Amino acid sequence: MGVAPDIVAGVARRLAEYAGLELPGWVVEARAAARIASLDIAPSEYVALIGSVRGAAELHELIESVRVGESRLFRHRSQINSLVDAVVPALRARGRRTIRVWSAGCAAGEEPYTLAAVLARAMPGVGVTIVATDVSADALEAAAKARYPASAWADIPDEWRDGFELAGDGVWVKPELAALVRFERANLADQLGPPPPRDCDLVWCRNVLIYFTPAARKRVIDRLVGATTPGGFVFVGYSESLRDIGELEAVRSGEAVYYVRRAGERAPVARPTPPGPTIGRTTPAAGVPVVQRTTPASGEQLLRTTPIVVPPPPPGEDVLVLRGHPSSRVVTAELMARLAIAGLERLVIDLDSVELLGDELAPVLRRARAAARAAHVDLVVRATKTGALRWLTRHELDGDAP
């Protein structure tokens, strides 16, 4: 059933007040409609319910229904590589016998277990403690089981598989790694909730900030920074930037960017590679033949099966050209990398060279639109061919197509 705009606005307002969430209207409407139908009450009664003390349980149910919670083991390998190649050597150089880690917004536990596997291998003899928090009780219950579908085995690189076991229809985190992680329920945006961990050498909070209102985002960032010890390290998602936070120094490592908490005297930071892409760089991602940038950087050549001549994008703009049958995973990685480019003002996604658009790409583009809005980037989907235009219309994504 449809939900009136004023009801959607009321539900969205409550989500923002309680959890600091700023979600697309269609998400709020769809989830609110489902919850209203399940309770069999009038829409106006539902808004009143989630705004009252007696409706606390229902508000939690609503938050469970709208949370993204998308994660997987060893997600975004470039950040894992930076952790191993740059952060771990810096931590070892300090002679620490123990390190403390906060995995904020841990969803079903894939990220803290990944950190446990990486740090236990890379820092033998060092005690590792990982506190993993999330607002979702359901996600934390799943995380505590330390078990994932058998398909998750493919996400684990060969060199890290000794920390996991493939048995029957599931992948299990080995007990010695699971023991390094302690799960706690916490609302990052709630100033009245329990205090965050303190004196953390590493804070890992990826793809969480993009869903908060500006006010909530500031509160959460203050918490993340406050939890990080001077000289400690902070990782956020590709589409999230902390370059405007005075207490943090941005460091590029390979294709990733991480942040270091400033101290009176800055801690030594490994810088294994020179600065990465700027606006207009168009080198394709390794192993990604179906996603190509439109123009090469000076001195570079772009391999294509069919030569294409296009003008370079104007300053502050980048163009992502999708080709063939692009997978949702590849497109997600490319979009997140583009949205992390410093100085980006406009990102154009060109669909005219795609041979087949799968339905799984629709939520990817919706999340990208939300991420772009949070990063103050104008995201435009460009399509002129009939098939692409029909696909956009079918998935209600044609609002920003020319």
CA distances from 360 to 2, 25, 100 (A): 24, 20, 37
- Distance between CA atoms of 334 and 326, rounded to whole angstroms? 11
pTM (predicted TM-score): 0.57
- 378 residue type, one letter: D
Span(s) in the chain for CATH 3.30.750.24: 291-400
Q: What share of the chain is helix, strand, coil (3-state, %, to 5)?
A: 40, 20, 40
CA atoms within 13 A on the CB side of 322: 27
Q: Lowest-confidence range among 84-88, 298-302, 344-348?
A: 298-302
Return the residue matching tokens 């609302």: 187
77-261: CATH topology is Rossmann fold (3.40.50)
Domain 291-400 bears CATH identifier 3.30.750.24:
yes
- Distance between CA atoms of 169 and 161, rounded to whole angstroms? 16
Span(s) in the chain for CATH 3.40.50.150: 77-261
Q: Which residues contact 394 (CB under 8 A, 6 or more apart)?
A: none
The model's pLDDT over 207-242, given as tens digits with 9 standing for 90+, comes to: 888 777 788 888 889 999 999 999 999 999 877 889
pLDDT-derived band at 247 (thresholds 50, 70, 90) equals very high
The model's pLDDT over 139-177, given as tens digits with 9 standing for 90+, comes to: 899 999 999 999 999 999 999 999 999 998 899 999 999
Strand, helix or coil for residue 13: helix
